[in-house]
Structure formats: C-alpha cells, structure tokens
Structure 1
C-alpha cells in the first residue's frame, strides 16, 4: 500500500507549523486514491520524520513517497532527510522508499516573489519591462541561507528572473544565516545604490523568528535613514499557487514507486 509523507522544516513559532499543516491538507486533496498521507518535520516540532514514517507503516504502508516541502536544495534536502530515511529502512526493511526534490526554480515561484513586491507597493507591469520603463527602485530578496553553494546559486538565479519581469533597476540577494552576503551586508549595499525605495522580500515559506527579526531590523533602518525607505513585503507563505508545484513534485516520487 502506498503512502505519501510530506516533510517540512519546522518552526519554533507554532503559527508557522500550522501554516504548513493547512497547506498540506490542501495538497492531500490532489491524491484521493492515496489513503495514507502524513506530515513530518525536520526539526523544532513533532512528529519527527521517523515518527511520521512509523505512523504510515502502522496504517499498512509498504511503499512511502517522501516529499520535501522546501523551497531550495540544501543540507536538509541532501543530507538530513535522506539520513532519516536510511534509519527508517533499518526499522522497516520490508518498506520501499522513494525520495523527491524541493520546489527549486519554478516560474510559479518567480511570479509569487513579484506578486509579494507588488502587494508591498511596487508598480505592476505586463510582460517584460524595457530598460526605459524601469524605475529607480531596488528589490532585496532575503533567503534563509546555507553553506551549500547550490542553494545560494539557485536563489541568485531566481533573483535574476524576478528582475527580468519587474520594473526595477537593481536586485540584491542576501541571507539570514550560514553564508554571505548577510542581511546587514545586503541592506547596506542596497542603501548605497541610487534608488531611494528598497523593497525587501523574505524568501521564506512560513512565519517565525526569522520574519520577526527582519521586521525589527527594517524598522530600525527606517528610523535612522533620511533618504532611503525600506519596505518589507510579505514572505512567500504556503500560497495556493504553490499547490501545483507540490503536486508535481509528489507525482514525480509516486512514479518512482511505480
């Protein structure tokens, strides 16, 4: 019997975990033929990945499609989740596992970043703006951060794609942890550019302490800045537009199981 296990990051802020659970509830509806569908977390909350796998097996699962609900490929996707799957194989040698991939670089996500900037006040345009249509505005995309170069390079690619479809002159990328440029470095660089308006979009799936830290940091910057205005947009969140991306990733794993 097949099962689907969705694996999220986990947050110290319970509201973030509830956002994931609500998002997964919608995703489950895309697979009515799969009666066993569970959710696990990498860290900070429960059930753990192994606990969630155990829940699947107790319900009769003999094949489990493990789907990471993560934006980008990094250590969690490459090492942490696979290590937990290997542990599960030792506990349940009769169970087959197939493992999927994070959301990655998707047109839907590029459009969602653009949408978050527009919701914060950025001018809307149809299609790709010409250079003359671009306004003196900077967009800063803030990622969680990783020591994995694949993750950081993917976010830079996404930033470039966002630039192509938005009427801004500059786009910068920075990271909350684990690598450079840091948030401080990214915001300082943005402040040195000609643009007086700087939109900051957190490339995060859920609310939590990281989002709270950004809100405080930008509030302080606006207090001391006479000429520059920093505008914090909303995080990506578990937007309904991402349901199709997750559905595609889940189908990829189910195909592996046959």
Structure 2
C-alpha cells in the first residue's frame, strides 16, 4: 500500500487485503484497558466488532487488562478453544507506556503459558497516520463555525492521560507535532501540553502558564482543549471537570473542547494495520 495514497484509498486496500487473509491456527486478541464506564466499554466492544469484520477469516476475541471481563486470560482461552495455537495481540493503547511495556505483555505471557500457545504483541497506535488524520478531523469538527481571532490570541492545549513513563512528555509532543505542524489554521496558536494524572504539567499548571499576561493584557482569548483520548471514561470526566473550573476562573476566555477519538473506523483500521506484520509473519 502506497503511503502517499489518500486515507480512504489506503483503508479500502487494507480491508480488501484482510478479506483474503487466511491464517490457520492463528487468532487475534484485541486488548482493551478496561473501564467501569458503560459508554467506554461499549466503544471498546464496537472497535473489536469492527476488527472482527475486517478480519473475517481470523478468530478475534476481546480481552480487558483490568476492571471488567472478559479478561485477557478469558480471551486467550476462547482462542485456544477455537483451535488457535498462535496469538497476535492488538493493544488499544495510544502510547508505549507502562501498560504496553509491562502490564499487557505480562498478562499475555501468563495467559498463553496456561494454554500452551505463543503470542506476539503489536505496537501501540502511536502516531499511526489514521490516528493523526482522525485527530485532525476531531479538531476541525470542534472549531467549525468559529472565526480565527486576530492577533494570535488563541491557544491549543493538548491533554494526555498521563503516565509515570519518562517518555510521556516526549510522546505527547510527538503527537502534537504530527497532528498540527502542517495546519495553517493553528500556525499562530500558542501550544502547551498537560496530563490528567501521573505526569507534569497538570491541566491547571499548563493553563496558568498560557494565561500569563503580556504587557498587562491577557495573552489568549480562546483556548482549544484537545484531550487525546480513545474512549469515554474517568479520564475524560476529569477533563470535563477541569473545563468547568477553567470557564469559571477565566470567564472572558472562550473554551472549546475537541472530542475523543471514539469508536471510529480509523481506530479499527489502525489497530489491524499495526498487527499486520505480526499476522503475516506468524505463518
């Protein structure tokens, strides 16, 4: 597939290729983080259903890392019962942090060891072109109908979930550059990043920095908050809570929130694309 092709063409080629992909004794476990939030859980299941449809000849099961069932162990058991001897894991994770590097691999290895299977784990979604394209679309949806503010008085705050991983800030800035560096619409924006938990700066710290006055006047008149999140849950609720506080604290500023990625086809396509080299190399 040509990396310069339009997204729709590349997606179509991916799905056509996968329709004809037959891998005996190989199954896929799509690994979700796990959430008690019913909307987030439904979005996860929706993505897994899309992955299942993209890979019609390969068994696909959902396994959550924590909080709710089915667990990763249960998903691997189901694949074993369906005759699979090899498992390819597709983690629904945005970045390579603790879950991707430690928790998911450990849970997978323990699960396949009990069944006598082998497992390989695909990379997180990261800066996959489908994710970047979807993030840009979410931004444009959020600002639709809003006229640019003259004088460069707009700011963009990209918010990550947060992690104790030392590369958390580097990875989030990488997302910011990949998503926004080519967009003329934000060329004069002030940029900042923040995290909901476990990393600095916090949302409050980042906004306080953006609101520093220049020559006695507020530096920004509009702030676009872009929470880079997959599904609804506790983290997005924390962002909403902070947004309410910010609107009260800075009433003269216009606050705009970008929607989460959600159960969009681009997420399912990116997941499968991340796993293809492991699937195609598994037999």
Task: Confirm or deny a common fold (TM above 0.5).
Answer: yes
> 2:223, 2:259 → 1: CA distance?
14
Asked if the contact 2:123–2:274 (Cα under 8 Å) also holds between the matched residues in 1, the reply is: yes
Residues 90 and 162 of structure 1, relative CA distance in 2, 3 Å threshold:
closer
Compare 73-82 and 95-104 and name the one that shifted more: 95-104
How far is the alpha carbon of 1:135 from its aligned partner? Answer: 4.2
Residues 141 and 123 of structure 1, relative CA distance in 2, 3 Å threshold:
farther
Deviation digits for residues 33-79 of structure 1, max 9, x if unmatched? 21x21000111111111111111112221111111111111110100
> 2:242, 2:165 → 1: CA distance?
26
> 2:87, 2:178 → 1: CA distance?
35
2:140 paired with 1:137: no
Matches within 5 A, 1:1-258: 1-34=25-58, 36-93=59-116, 95-121=117-143, 135-166=152-183, 167-168=185-186, 169-192=189-212, 194-258=219-283
Asked if the contact 1:159–1:172 (Cα under 8 Å) also holds between the matched residues in 2, the reply is: no
Asked if the contact 1:68–1:101 (Cα under 8 Å) also holds between the matched residues in 2, the reply is: yes
How far is the alpha carbon of 1:17 from its aligned partner? Answer: 0.8
Find the residue that maps to 2:211 and give its secondary structure: helix
How far is the alpha carbon of 1:123 from its aligned partner? Answer: 7.2
Asked if the contact 1:143–1:203 (Cα under 8 Å) also holds between the matched residues in 2, the reply is: yes
Residues 111 and 212 of structure 1, relative CA distance in 2, 3 Å threshold:
same
* TM-score in terms of structure 1 length: 0.89
How far is the alpha carbon of 1:192 from its aligned partner? Answer: 2.5
How far is the alpha carbon of 1:173 from its aligned partner? Answer: 0.9
Deviation digits for residues 51-110 of structure 1, max 9, x if unmatched? 1111111222111111111111111010011111221243122x1212111111123322
How far is the alpha carbon of 1:200 from its aligned partner? Answer: 0.4
> 2:129, 2:145 → 1: CA distance?
20
RMSD: 2.1
Deviation digits for residues 116-168 of structure 1, max 9, x if unmatched? 222121679xxxxxxxx994311111110111123431111111233313322
Find the residue that maps to 1:165 and give its secondary structure: coil
> 2:151, 2:144 → 1: CA distance?
11
Where structure 1 has 5 or more consecutive residues not aligned to the other structure, the ranges are 125-132
> 1:152, 1:46 → 2: CA distance?
31
Asked if the contact 1:142–1:174 (Cα under 8 Å) also holds between the matched residues in 2, the reply is: yes
> 1:2, 1:141 → 2: CA distance?
38
> 1:173, 1:110 → 2: CA distance?
16
Q: Which residue of 2 aligns with 1:130?
A: none
Asked if the contact 2:39–2:232 (Cα under 8 Å) also holds between the matched residues in 1, the reply is: yes
* TM-score in terms of structure 2 length: 0.82
- How many residue pairs match? The answer is 249
Where structure 2 has 5 or more consecutive residues not aligned to the other structure, the ranges are 1-24, 214-218
Find the residue that maps to 1:195 and give its secondary structure: coil
Residues 123 and 155 of structure 1, relative CA distance in 2, 3 Å threshold:
farther
